[in-house]
Chains A and B, each alone.
Chain A
């Protein structure tokens, strides 16, 4: 009865990783692997969780699709809509704000000519303001994929962005792989 989706599937490497992760939890508690697997899925399938991807993950873990949707919608790291190739997340919480996060965000908005939450028309960059990244002592801070960039200045941000434009920065990375 269930509609199996055959159009998407993990690469053999990811599948191996996924199976390894599932075994970390007791028998019958495979659902525990849901967050780690959603991270891997998001990285592998273009940086966001489409309904097809979530259905595929549900299938893998023998869950109902709704059990995956309700989780994916709860956690802010899961994107439920397409994002740019490189997602820049600037911390906007108290300590970072005290140390100039506002200027960094404004600077990036101007540089990309977009507002927080938007993606550049060429699909390269998405700009986000996020909450405390546990790096307040080196504020202001931003997270890009698996990297943290700290003690930001507008000059430092310019350098990074210029570099990323050249190298075609991609921030959708599997959290488990270097």
Chain B
């Protein structure tokens, strides 16, 4: 079983440029190198559970929540299950690792929450 380090439900499709902009990072700068890795780990190398369920596992498992529970041992709330994407992250770079004092996990989460709000507003 892949152990989940983070589960990120999102109602929008992640976009690298938007992510950098929200973190106030210039493209092609040092920050973009550092946080490019963060973006990859959260949204490229992670599992998009909703997509993988629909494409591969809906034949075997009756519901998305059962699939996530059986496969990853995680219980997801109904609200989160409705998100467009549910990213399950199994590996974190040092910059996001809560075991390190100078990690930027909170800053990244704050930025994602802001982006999520903006996208939800745009949708309504």
Q: Do A and B bind each other?
A: no
Enumerate chain B interface residues (CB-CB to A < 8 A). none
